[in-house]
Amino acid sequence: MPKTFLIDTTRCTACRGCQVACKEWHDLPANQTKQRGSHQNPPDLNPYNYKIVRFHEHLDENNNVVWNFFPDQCRHCLTPICVDIATMAVPGALVQDEQSGAVLVTEKCATLSPADAKAVADACPYNIPRYDEKTHMLTKCDMCIDRVSAGMQPMCVKTCPTGAMAFGERKEMLALAQQRLEQAKKRYPKAHLVDPEDVSVLYLLAEEAEHYYKHAAFG
């Protein structure tokens, strides 16, 4: 059975520990950033950030400001279309690990043409892969496959201080997700899970998806 993340956004405080831990574990260089009127920084995923905590604010029916935080990353789809598209161009450029279910970018990815790499990225319904023009590689979360293969948790999960992130066997995470959902609905009647039948990263949201990250992938 594939491994699965549970990301309970009702417990996320946007400390960004997961974002920093991912960056440090993968030894990724710093990004040049600046204030753009948002606490979200950098503004998007990029070749040097495989995970980013997205910030979104809106007014509720009482005109109170509501903050929602969304730790965005590769969903490690159960049936990853990115692997299919990449395989048509360069077999083995992207693969799915049989044991963990992790969707991985291999060294063969560097032989994809820029047009083929763009086609792979565009195929992702969650807008995740980013193209590194220096290395000619697509980049994204790799589920910390080196840690998982050694029986450890992904670095983002290990670092999370509030229990917003959990990781384990899919059956266990689905059960935990349902348990967390029932708890969340007592406070957030609109709470729901996003695409639980399709992905290995289960998101529990307190509100409608558009109040987290405006992207067509939701729904």
Q: Would you say residue 218 lies in a domain?
A: no
Establish whether the linkage from the previous residue to 161 is cis, with ω within 30° of 0.
no
CATH number of the domain enclosing 106 = 3.30.70.20
71 and 120 in a common domain: no
Radius of gyration (C-alpha) of the chain in whole angstroms: 17
Q: Considering only 5-19, 27-41, 75-89, 137-151, which range has the smallest mean pLDDT?
A: 27-41
- Cα separation, 78 vs 146, in Å, equals 20
Confidence of residue 218 (pLDDT cuts 50, 70, 90): very low
Contact 142, 125 (CB under 8 A): no
For β-strands 201-205 and 165-169, DSSP reports them as unpaired
pLDDT tier at 55, thresholds 50, 70, 90 = very high
Same domain, 98 and 204: no
pLDDT more than 90, % of the chain: 85
Total number of domains in the chain: 2
200-217: per-residue pLDDT in tens?
Answer: 999 999 999 888 886 544
Residue 219 has pLDDT above 90, yes or no: no
Q: Are residues 13 and 30 in the same domain?
A: yes
On whether both 10 and 71 belong to a single domain, the answer is yes
Which pairs from 23-30 meet CB under 8 Å and 24+ separation? 23/48, 23/49, 23/50, 23/51, 24/155, 25/144, 25/147, 25/155, 26/50, 26/142
- Residues 11 and 38 reside in one and the same domain: yes
- The residue type at 61: E
Residue 89 maps to a domain = yes
| Total-model pTM | 0.93
Amino acid 216: pLDDT:
40
- How crowded is residue 10: how many other Cβ atoms within 10 Å of its Cβ? 19
Alpha-carbon torsion (107, 113, 118, 120), positive or negative: negative
pLDDT band at 80 (very low <50, low <70, confident <90, very high): very high
Choose one of 142, 162, 193: the last residue of a domain: 142
- 43 and 65 together in one domain: yes
Q: For 145-204, what is each residue's pLDDT tens digit?
A: 999 999 999 999 999 999 999 999 999 999 999 999 999 999 999 999 999 999 999 999
For residue 217, is it within any domain?
no
If asked whether residues 111 and 170 sit together in one domain, one would say no
Burial readout 107-143 (b: 16 or more C-beta within 10 A, e: otherwise): ebbeebeeebbebbbeebbbebbbbeeeeebbbbbbb
Q: What mean pLDDT do residues 68-90 have?
A: 97
187 and 101 part of one domain: no
pLDDT tens for each residue of 32-47: 888 878 888 999 999 9
